[in-house]
């Protein structure tokens, strides 16, 4: 059965100050949702607030380091008090700390796994109470193509992104009966700060591996996420939507 659509839905987008998260926040705002977009700095949060204001959207930016469980709890409680319970959660914030395993420091492993996976456990749990009560919710986790394929130099990152896929499918099974869907979007190589440090040669080789012959834009991912949030996707749960220009075709 169809659920009420925007503007009654409150969306939390983590890591909305830049890149893919920023495009997701603006796409959801354009579609009429109330959007809370987080960044780790005051400047990042303020930029999100002004972007939402300029778009005539409901919502605001918020400062949040998702590796801080207490801050996550206080931000989510504050948002719920101000706008109503969060019904759409986009777990987007993520980091890379690339290195070959033989050279990887424990701190690089820990930072990546804590930010990309452990924090998703904390933030999702905090949002679930409201969704369960409303018997409605949408959770989208940003995985990655490398979570499915692996990538030399990214054992930490690929493990975190593969972990998110297992998390997505298991949680989807646990809460489907409550009217909450849980899906993952697995981007390929998207033109953001995260990929801007690639050497020219590496970029060229990557392009050769992408049948659609271009890096993805953050908006390509935002549109896929917005679809999974929409009522059009109400019968889709526990799935991984690969958005990668054809560079990897899952079975
Ligand atoms: P990005 O441009 O590097 O932006 C990362 C975002 O995450 C920023 O808003 C950043 O906030 C936030 N963030 C980082 N650490 C955080 C923390 N501890 N707490 C809260 N927020 C934090 O990354 P992106 O390329 O847009 O990637 C977004 C997501 O898509 C990530 O999960 C990434 O793994 C995934 N992904 C990206 C690609 C790609 O090719 N770009 C491919 C596959 C998957 P600040 O601005 O405050 O630092």
Measured from the CB, is residue 156 less than 6 Å from ligand 1?
no
Average pLDDT over residues 32-36: 97
pLDDT of residue 202: 81
User: Which of 16, 94, 191, 214 is the pocket-test mutation for ligand 1 (most atoms within 8 Å of CB)?
Assistant: 94
pLDDT of residue 197: 79
Across the chain, mean pLDDT equals 95
pLDDT of residue 7: 52
pLDDT at 111 > cutoff 80: yes
Positions marked active-site: 157
How many angstroms does the Cα of residue 213 sit away from the middle of ligand 1? 23
Name the packing angle between helices 106-113 and 155-175 (round to 10°): 30
Q: How much of the chain exceeds pLDDT 70, in percent?
A: 97
Residues 245, 237, 38, 53, CA torsion sign: positive
How many angstroms does the Cα of residue 208 sit away from the middle of ligand 1? 25
pLDDT of residue 185: 99
Average pLDDT over residues 141-167: 98
Task: Measure the CA–CA gap between 95 and 131, rounded to whole angstroms.
Answer: 27
Could you tell me which of 233, 241, 183, 250 has the C-alpha nearest to residue 216?
241
Average pLDDT over residues 10-24: 98
**How many CB atoms within 10 Å of residue 235?**
7
- Of 58-72, 110-124, 201-215, least confident by mean pLDDT is 201-215
Measured from the CB, is residue 224 less than 6 Å from ligand 1?
no
Residues 105, 154, 193, 116, CA torsion sign: negative
Confidence bin at 1 (pLDDT 50/70/90): very low
| Tens of pLDDT, residues 114-127 | 999 999 999 999 99
Confidence bin at 250 (pLDDT 50/70/90): confident
- The pair of structure tokens assigned to 234 is 């109400």
Measured from the CB, is residue 65 less than 6 Å from ligand 1?
yes
pLDDT of residue 167: 99
- Of 64-73, 91-100, 188-197, least confident by mean pLDDT is 188-197
* 7 prior amide bond cis, ω within 30: yes
Confidence bin at 10 (pLDDT 50/70/90): very high
Relative to the CA of 157, which ligand 1 atom is closest? 34
3-class SS string, the chain: CCCCCCCCCEEEECCCCCHHHHHHHHHHHHCCCEEEEEECCHHHHHHHHHHHHHCCCCEEEEECCCCCHHHHHHHHHHHHHHHCCCCEEEECCCCCCCECHHHCCHHHHHHHHHHHHHHHHHHHHHHHHHHHHHCCEEEEEECCHHHHHCCCCEHHHHHHHHHHHHHHHHHHHHHHHHCEEEEEEEECCECCHHHHCCCHHHHHHHHHCCCCCCCECHHHHHHHHHHHHCHHHCCCCCCEEEECCCCCCCC
pLDDT at 180 > cutoff 90: yes
pLDDT at 190 > cutoff 80: yes
How many angstroms does the Cα of residue 92 sit away from the middle of ligand 1? 6
Confidence bin at 251 (pLDDT 50/70/90): confident
pLDDT of residue 6: 53
pLDDT at 3 > cutoff 60: no
């Amino acid at each position: 059965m169809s659920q009420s659509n925007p503007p009654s839905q409150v969306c939390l987008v983590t890591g909305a100050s830049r890149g893919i998260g920023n495009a997701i926040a603006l796409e959801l705002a354009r579609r009429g949702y109330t959007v809370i977009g987080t960044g780790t700095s005051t400047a990042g949060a303020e930029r999100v607030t002004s972007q939402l204001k300029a778009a005539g959207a409901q919502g605001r930016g918020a400062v949040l380091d998702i590796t801080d469980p207490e801050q996550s709890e206080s931000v989510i409680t504050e948002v719920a008090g101000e706008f109503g319970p969060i019904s759409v959660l986009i777990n987007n914030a993520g980091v890379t700390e690339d290195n070959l395993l033989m050279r990887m420091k424990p701190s690089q492993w820990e930072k990546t796994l804590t930010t990309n996976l452990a924090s998703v456990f904390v933030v999702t749990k905090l949002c679930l109470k409201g969704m369960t009560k409303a018997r409605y919710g949408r959770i989208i986790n940003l995985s990655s193509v490398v979570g499915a394929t692996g990538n030399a130099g990214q054992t930490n990152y690929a493990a975190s992104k593969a972990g998110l896929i297992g998390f997505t499918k298991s949680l989807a099974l646990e809460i489907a009966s409550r009217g909450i869907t849980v899906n993952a979007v697995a981007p390929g190589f998207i033109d953001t700060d995260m990929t801007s440090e690639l050497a020219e040669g590496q970029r060229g080789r990557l392009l050769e591996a992408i049948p659609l012959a271009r890096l993805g834009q953050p908006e390509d991912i935002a549109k896929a996420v917005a679809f999974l949030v929409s009522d059009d996707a109400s019968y889709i749960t526990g799935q991984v939507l690969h958005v990668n220009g054809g560079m990897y075709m899952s079975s």
